[in-house]
Amino acid sequence: MNASDVRLGQCYFAQLSERSTQVRIERPAPGGGWIARVLSHGKHAKIKSAAQLLRRCDDEEVAAVVRGLEPNRRSCIEPVTELPPFVFENKDGEILTSPPPVKRIKIAEPPPESMSLLDAAAYVLKAAKKPLSTRDIVEAIIRLRLWNPSGATPWGTLHAAISRDIVNNGEKSRFQKATRGLFDIRK
């Protein structure tokens, strides 16, 4: 299966470990791939590439899985009779009719060749001209190919680095905390 054939909200047979199971693609994963919900137990799994998706499930196959779901032995909840419809939500939990737009940051001049993570963050914040979260900064840095993350949570690494820079340099720091979770470039 090709990555261009994968649609959010659709159900597929996916190769997870040794066996295939039915999943519903819920959102793109940071760093590539997708986050999917396994229909048999409801937990999330990461689909790293389209090669893990074997084929699309038809409605009867999804209904068969839903009919077979039962609550666990400690649960007092009635068995599930149908899957809830797939919806797009924004950060506030409001339901959207279409996927949220991808944030794009316009950059006027090309970036310098080699940059540290803090230099790249300062570059992105200067170009954005508004406070951003560390997740947004890291997404822009990766998209602009200014830095390649090696850890599982690059936004945590950046948050720690910016916070350490603010504490160590005080008023001389390039960064300032705008509000909770948002950083800006010092004017």
Query: Based on the structure, what is the number of domains in the chain?
Result: 2
In this structure, the answer to whether residues 74 and 135 fall within a common structural domain is no
Q: Who contacts 31 (Cβ-Cβ below 8 Å, separation ≥6)?
A: 142, 149
Flag whether pLDDT at 162 surpasses 80.
yes
In a domain, 78, yes or no: yes
The encoded tokens of residue 125 equal 């914040």
In this structure, the answer to whether residues 129 and 74 fall within a common structural domain is no
SS3 content of the chain, % helix, strand, coil (to 5): 30, 25, 45
In a domain, 16, yes or no: yes
| Domain region containing 78 | 3-96
In a domain, 106, yes or no: no
In this structure, the answer to whether residues 23 and 90 fall within a common structural domain is yes
Place of tokens 């190769």: 15
Encode burial over 50-80: b for 16+ CB neighbours within 10 A, e otherwise: eebbeeebeeeebeebbeeeeeeeeeeeeeb
Flag whether pLDDT at 80 surpasses 50.
no
Flag whether pLDDT at 164 surpasses 90.
yes
We report the CATH number of the domain holding residue 91 as 2.30.30
Percent of the chain with pLDDT over 70: 76
From 63, 96, 129, the end of a domain falls on 96
Look up the pTM and report it: 0.42
In this structure, the answer to whether residues 140 and 173 fall within a common structural domain is yes
In a domain, 112, yes or no: no
Which helix (H) or strand (E) element contains residue 137? helix 134-143
DSSP single-letter state for residue 133: E
Percent of the chain with pLDDT over 90: 11
Contact indicator for 131, 184 with CB cutoff of 8 Å: yes
Write the pLDDT tens digit of every residue in 95-116. 776 666 666 656 555 555 667 8
In a domain, 177, yes or no: yes
In this structure, the answer to whether residues 34 and 87 fall within a common structural domain is yes
